[in-house]
Amino acid sequence: MVPLSFKWVSLALVAGALNALAAAPAAAQGTVRRHLVYFRDKAGTPFSVAQPQAFLSARSLTRRTRQGIAVLPRDLPVNPAYVAQIRAVTGGPQVLYTSRWFNAAVVSCDSLTLTRIMALPKVSRASTLNRSYRAPAPFTTPTQLPEPAARGTLATRAQYGPAYRQNQQIGALAMHDAGFRGDGMQIAVFDAGFPGTDTISALRPLFQEQRLASTRNFVDGGTSVYGRSDHGTNCLSTMAANKPGFFIGTAPKATFHLCITEDVYSEHPIEEANWLAAAEYADSVGVDVISSSLGYTDFDAPSVSYTYADLTGRNAISSRAATMAARVGMLVVSAAGNEGNHAWRYVSAPADADSIMSVGAVDSLGNHAVFSSYGPTADGRIKPTLSAMGQATAVLSPNGGAYRGNGTSFACPVLAGMAAGFWQANPTLTAQQVIVALRSTATQAIAPDNTLGYGIPNFVTAYNALHPTAPLATSPAAAGANDALRLYPNPIGSGLLTLVLPAALRGQPLKVRVLDARGAVVAQQQLPAADGDEASLRLAPLAKGNYICEVSTGSTRRTVKFVQQ
């Protein structure tokens, strides 16, 4: 996690769509600030929803079509004539970028020039986004440290290195073993900088395999992202690293877009506007998943901080932007926040947004990390949505070394990478259906709370719920040995389920026992020898909760966990 003195960075083409971000503004007569200027309408725009290819990429349109999402007037770029009117105002205002979704522009100018802009007939209102601008300190390229030689060929601790447990906890080992590593999926990472990404050997496959699709710097302008804070490097590594025998992330074959939106040297709403611009950029180039380990509650004076009452998902700029990103079919994954043991306590923006996946932090044993922010949102919705390993999470530093860090910032990309692989495995799902599938099969699906949300998701559990007739084994080792007991559906509702028997239990009478979470036997019966590898089991009604099904014959015994809804 970024030190608290930095504020918490939540340890977190297309012509016409976005204007290029300019360099830091030069001094003017008055103090130059950045403002979000809203327009009254999009009347007279040369763009049309009937020809979206003029402002959205083919990949973006395909993503929408696949999910039944229409291109709407909200997607149309700002009328270029309105932008030209602002640029023509006396005082030399700079339009840094525009927002399709908000029908607005981020403008850099002094207060007198802003007054002239506000007098334009097509301008409705404006809000000041920052009070100062500080250029980043020079970043020195870190010394590259030697890494241990690669070892191991299976999904073992040796192969994954220190990243083993954070992958295992959410079923990513089995996901990779089944061939789902994020191939063909595109993930945008919004953060504060990515130093070392272009030199770390564990991230070299991104460049060798041409899976770094783009870079954008919405703070300084341009495309340079290999400087500023190393927080983005840490987060990216939990997904993208791919060096067997040293470190493997949760989406080691995905394609990435790196966006700097956060300025760790100050805290003002301009960073939320940067988040908005990055989300629209991600939409325009066809991104599938946004991973954002950023959060906003307190701003530097005189910018006005949020209160808990603001966290409805409809107030903060970044939360409104996240909701819009979800509505156009992207899966938005946001760190919940690191305020669980501080006065604020609750999740931050944009984690309060509706229709996104807000991620809390747990330790390697699945216990709530004390710093992980709690829900609910101000309007009573459960947050976080899900949880993943964010305490003692393995990450890479800019010099290529691995270390462990704390923060929902790290839980967020760990889970975002698994979600990308899950979507790869289930390509007909919509982004919202991906959230539902992971949420409804997580460890607290029956009794969600505002500590862990719906709990810790697992790729295998969620996948098998969608594919009951062709389930995956619960672990790579079990899959290889064909020795695991499985059942479906899981969770169950009616009490009728099917056991998938390993070879050791086939062709002979079986004894079945069902044990509750305390280990007490709540049901048992005898089953005749099965002809094939499946046997039907009808249970009497069970109370909602977690159970273990134990099947045995002679000295051979196998168990499998299931959930009664």
Residuewise pLDDT in 10s, the chain (565 residues): 333 333 444 433 333 334 334 333 333 457 899 999 999 999 999 999 999 999 999 999 999 999 999 999 999 999 999 999 999 999 999 999 999 999 999 999 999 999 999 999 999 999 999 865 555 555 444 444 444 443 333 446 788 999 999 999 999 999 998 889 999 999 999 999 999 999 999 999 999 999 999 999 999 999 999 999 999 999 999 999 999 999 999 999 999 999 999 999 889 999 999 999 999 999 999 999 999 999 999 999 889 999 999 999 999 999 999 999 999 999 999 999 999 999 999 999 999 999 999 999 999 999 999 999 999 999 999 999 999 999 999 999 999 999 999 999 999 999 999 999 999 999 999 999 999 999 999 999 999 999 999 999 999 999 999 998 888 865 444 433 356 788 777 778 776 788 888 888 888 899 999 988 777 889 999 999 877 778 888 888 888 888 888 898 887 888 888 888 7
Helix, coil or strand: residue 346: strand
What is the rounded CA–CA span in Å between residue 117 and residue 34?
A: 13
Rounded CA separation 406/101 (Å): 34
Give the residue numbers marked as catalytic: 191, 231, 409
Peptide bond preceding 376 in cis form (omega within 30 of 0): yes
What confidence score (pLDDT) does residue 556 get? Answer: 81
Cβ atoms of 69 and 283 closer than 8 Å: no
Structure tokens belonging to residue 530: 């099965």
Helix axes 408-425, 431-440, angle to 10 degrees: 110
Alpha carbon distance 274, 158 (integer Å): 40
Residue at token pair 């339009």: 95
Spacing of C-alpha 326 from chain mean position: 12
Report how far residue 116's alpha carbon sits from residue 150's, in angstroms, rounded to the nearest whole number: 63
- For residue 284 the two structure tokens come to 């325009």
Contact 383, 206 (CB under 8 A): no
Q: Is 556 helix (H, G, I), strand (E, B) or coil?
A: strand
Can you spell out the DSSP letters for 116-179? Answer: HHHTSTTEEEEEE--S---PPPP-PPPPPPP-PPP--SSSSHHHHGGGHHHHHTTTHHHHHHTT
Here the tokens at position 186 are 């595109």
Helix (H, G, I), strand (E, B) or coil at 9: coil
One-letter amino acid identity for 379? Answer: D
Q: Rg of the Cα trace of the chain? A: 25
Pairing mode of beta strands 545-553, 556-564? antiparallel
What are the strands of the beta sheet with 486-488, ordered from one edge? 486-488, 496-500, 534-538
295 forms bridges with which residues in the sheet? none
Is the separation of the CB atoms in 387 and 455 below 8 Å?
Answer: yes
User: Which tokens go with 27?
Assistant: 């001094």
CA angle (346 as vertex; 283, 453 as ends), nearest 5: 70
